[in-house]
Amino acid sequence: MNVRELDINEIPFWPAPFRLGALLLLIIVCLGAAYHFLLSDEWAAYNKEQARETQLKQDYQMKYQTAVNLPVYREQLVQLNKDLEVLLDMLPNDDETARLLDDITLVGTRSGLDFDRIEWLDPQPREFYTALPMRIDLQGEYHQIGEFIGRIAGLHRIISVKDFTLQRSDFNSNLQLNVTAETYRQQTLRTEP
């Protein structure tokens, strides 16, 4: 018998293999429709919740580790605050900026240098601090200038030497150092435990 000879109205009289094939096809279509209309949304929601469960387990694990180590973190925070206080003490406040210029001048004169200019430039606010640049122009010998820079680095306050030029107008004259140095004033950096 040929497939083209089969009539859909005479399914009960088809040969057994064709009836089984039609029944199997009908079952597959019914299952596909049932899945599409009844289960697909539920299956997607189930998969989404499984992914969320995995993320929640990871979040729980991270929070558990933090909670277990909380006393250690608090000790570290106390130590960091102590270290921060030491560093903040190295930053000049408004009352100490004039004294800082005096300290720099004293260091320079002890090194045997002659100052042409030493002055504050405009403050430069940054995210966590304010930079206080200063302009220093001086004259002296090479080793005196080196000693001056070394002594500035040894001051109790934080001073960083930024842009500088070192030149000599002629062979017999002193070196001229033009430098921009910065110190810093804190804004708010303290943290509570």
Tens of pLDDT along 87-131? 777 776 666 677 888 888 899 999 899 999 988 899 888 887 888
Does 145 lie in the same domain as 59? no
pLDDT of residue 187: 67
Tally the domains of the chain: 2
pLDDT in tens, 13-53: 778 888 888 889 989 999 998 888 888 888 888 999 999 99
Kindly report, residue by residue over 144-174, the tens digit of the pLDDT: 999 998 888 888 778 888 888 888 877 777 8
Examine the domain organization and report whether 111 and 168 are in the same domain: yes
Same domain, 126 and 60: no
Selection from 189, 123, 187, 132 nearest residue 157 by Cα = 132
Same domain, 119 and 42: no
**Do 23 and 105 share a domain, yes or no?**
no
| CA distances to 128, 135, 180 from 184, in Å | 10, 15, 13
Mark whether 97 and 46 lie in a shared domain. Answer: no
Closest C-alpha among 119, 102, 93 to residue 185: 93
Do 97 and 134 contact (CB within 8 A), yes or no? no
Residue 133 belongs to domain spanning: 92-186
CATH number at residue 102: 3.30.70.60
In a domain, 81, yes or no: no
Using pLDDT thresholds of 50, 70 and 90, give the confidence band for residue 57.
very high
Burial class from Cβ neighbours inside 10 Å (0-12, 13-18, 19+) for residue 139 reads middle
CA dihedral 140, 146, 149, 153 (to 10 degrees): -150
Q: Is pLDDT of 189 > 70?
A: no
96 and 147 co-located in one domain: yes
Instruction: Looking at the structure, tell me whether residues 32 and 99 fall in a common domain.
Output: no
Question: What pairs with residue 117 in β-bridges?
Answer: 137
**Residue 174 near residue 139, CB atoms below 8 Å:** yes
Let me know whether 97 and 50 are in one domain: no
| The predicted structure's pLDDT at residue 192 | 52
Query: Does 72 map to a domain?
Result: no
Position 125 scores a pLDDT of 87
